[in-house]
Amino acid sequence: MAEVHETLDNLMQENRTFPPSPAFVTEANATAAIYDEAEADRLGFWAKQARGLDWDTDFTEVLDWSNAPFAKWFVGGKLNVAYNCVDRHVLSGHGDQIAIRFEGEPGDQINITYRELMDQVCKAANAITELGVSAGDRVAIYMPMIPEAVVAMLACARVGAVHSVVFAGFSAEALRSRIEDAQAKLVITADGQNRRGSVMSLKPAVDEAVAASPSVNNVLVVRRCGNDIAWGEKDVWWHEFVANQSPEHTPIAFDSEHPLFILYTSGTTGKPKGILHTTGGYLTQVSYTHRVVFDLKPDTDVFWCTADIGWVTGHSYIVYGPLANRVTQVIYEGTPDTPGKDRWWDIIQRHGVTILYTAPTAIRTFMKWGDEFPQAYDLSSLRLLGSVGEPINPEAWMWYRSVIGGNNCPIVDTWWQTETGGMMISPLPGVTATKPGSAMRALPGIGMAVVDDAGTPLGNGHGGFLVLTEPWPAMLRGIWGDNQRFIDTYWSKWPQFYFAGDGAKLDNDGALWLLGRVDDVMNVSGHRISTTEVESALVSHPSVAEAAVVGAADETTGQAIVAFVILRGGMEGDDGTTLVTELRNHVATEIGAIAKPKKIMIVPELPKTRSGKILRRLLQDVAEHRSVGDSTTLADPAVMNLISAGLESSSADD
């Protein structure tokens, strides 16, 4: 056999496996046969999934790939997304089923049935139409996690307007740049949002952004917190204007390729990158993946995805996928530690949540806080757990399984992106024997490979670049207003593949392991080592709750590994010598001496955005003794001062 060029070193091994219980298998929505069905006729498989939706006009062709990489799915078909998410459930006799169980951070609660949701969406659709919004126009949504945010998105979809949801933690300048790029005619916002017991005003950022955005004709404002706000001639109160609209509205069927939304990916410099998603293919894939990956039982399950609608997870697995599947779901406005660190577990117990979908960052935070918080509640209603956002390290996976799931819940570790629209890689909970920390394999209907620098697929036991080998229904249709950037960004390395930007490896059993962004790969003495694997090794130590690893310039090895770790709740810090030495040796045992960190720093917190993303570039600034860069997007900018001040006192060198 020819020698395989190792694009990424394949270091850690994981041999624990957890098959689904016989009882779960018996009732599962998907069986192993679904893989064979998709492989035998991939396009026929996707056509079958699409016909689970209600189409006003049937499609005549499943896929047009003649203008690759610009895809057209379900050609000729017409449908309305909002009708599929709301109306058809009411018309089929489920109008009294609760769609949304909303819980505000202060403790206010409201249940909204599908019939009530349909009325609200129709009123909002009439309202934005009266404000001059029509099919193809863009609407910016800058809102907290409240039901009106979901209503606003569905109202846009109902009239064919293209929504651009901007995370409500972003600055006025970030909002302005997105409004300007999309040329939005309407902004929908709220007076403020509840966060950690205080009211954070949203309207001032909107006012500043709109003042510099001549395309905006009106600002529709939800009164959420009652805080004092400035009022301008473009401003309209939601509770006055929307409430007085008719609850009757006839949805319009739009072409399958009609734009549904733009979602801007995160970035600190340059022009915003607006990822464009369309209608039929997107709704097909998010409803299919939501149904089979979460094994949804619409008559009995209570689903909770803890994401914010400002991110793609909120679009696909709070709004469109779940509602298309007639879900009953929890939506929570606030933070996990308000008023106490038990808030999530209290919500799960009171609402009887059966499916929980959250991020590894949150899981590791709960590990840090201690087991006593979830153990004080009855979490036995849970039957399935999900993970999203970044690779989950095996020890966090095991903690999630044992402490939250009571060793009784399958875990679906999902990989996908803003660009993919929906899940691409995940276990199927009634089929897959899972390994802690592995996303396992591509979902039925998805083409995936791990390749080397030349684009040659690698076999089991090797690491490289994760690519998608076939077009998929929910794929992005381009970057808003910049088709060449779309080609250059995703298709230039290998024109025959979509390059996801992530590293991955296939273990000896063929299970897939995500290794994070290839930008985060460290080159240590010629070995290309993933930060994810070193972080996983650190978190497998019983003292460590969370870790972030960066590569710092080193004269001898090219790059040296520098780690920042948070200890678990109840663990005592030391003088930075004994435990640091123990952790370095632990990494060497778990992975190998080549991966032993040169420096380890024990820190109280890591620099995270409000969405939970760790800004490793700031940690690299600290590790390389540079001035710390822009930290304005951090949830707590002051944390960088603590990290910088303590670097030398709690690090160890070879």
The whole model's pTM is what?
0.86
User: Residue 606: exposed, middle, or buried by beta-carbon count in 10 A (0-12, 13-18, 19+)?
Assistant: buried
Domain at 525-650: CATH architecture: 2-Layer Sandwich (3.30)
208-212, 491-495, 567-571, 649-653: least confident range = 649-653
Angle subtended at Cα 504 by Cα 559 and Cα 512, rounded to the nearest 5 degrees: 145
Question: Among residues 390, 426, 333, which one has the least CA distance to residue 546?
Answer: 390
What are the helix (H) ranges across 192-328? 203-211, 238-241, 280-293, 312-314, 321-324
**Do 386 and 411 meet the contact criterion of CB atoms below 8 Å apart?**
yes
CATH for the stretch 1-17+447-518? 2.30.38.10
CB contact burial 223-238 (16+ within 10 A = b; e otherwise): ebbeeebeeeebbbeb
- Tell me the percentage of the chain whose pLDDT exceeds 70: 92
Q: What is the DSSP string of 474-519?
A: T----BTT-HHHHHHHHTSS-TTSEEEEEEEEE-TT--EEEEEEGG
Confidence of residue 556 (pLDDT cuts 50, 70, 90): confident
State pLDDT tens for residues 144-184.
Answer: 999 999 999 999 999 999 999 999 988 898 899 999 999 99
Confidence of residue 268 (pLDDT cuts 50, 70, 90): very low
Q: Chain-centre distance of CA 582, in angstroms?
A: 34
**Do 421 and 277 meet the contact criterion of CB atoms below 8 Å apart?**
yes
Q: What is the pLDDT of residue 570?
A: 67
Strand 448-451 and strand 462-468: the pairing is antiparallel
**Stretch 493-521: mean pLDDT:** 89
Ranges of CATH 2.30.38.10 domains, the chain: 1-17+447-518
Q: Chain-centre distance of CA 637, in angstroms?
A: 23
Q: What is the pLDDT of residue 591?
A: 77
Domain at 22-432: CATH architecture: 3-Layer(aba) Sandwich (3.40)
CA dist., res. 277 & res. 418, Å (int): 9
For residue 484, what are the β-bridge partners? none
Q: What is the DSSP string of 600-630?
A: EEE-S---BBTT--B-HHHHHHHHTTPPP--
Which span out of 3-7, 337-341, 572-576 was modeled with the highest average pLDDT? 337-341
In angstroms, the first-to-last Cα distance of the chain is 39
Output the average pLDDT for the chain: 91
In the numeric block, which tokens belong to residue 593?
């001496």
Ranges of CATH 3.30.300.30 domains, the chain: 525-650
State pLDDT tens for residues 286-311.
Answer: 999 999 999 999 999 999 999 999 99
Ranges of CATH 3.40.50.12780 domains, the chain: 22-432
State pLDDT tens for residues 616-626.
Answer: 888 888 888 87
φ, ψ for residue 595 (rounded to 5)? -95, 5
Q: Report whether pLDDT(47) > 90.
A: yes
Residues whose CB falls within 8 Å of the CB of residue 557, separated by 6 or more in sequence, listed in order:
524, 525
DSSP label at residue 236: E
Q: What is the DSSP string of 33-85?
A: HHHHHHHH-HHHHHHHHHTTS--SB--SEEEE-TTTTS-EEEET-EE-HHIII
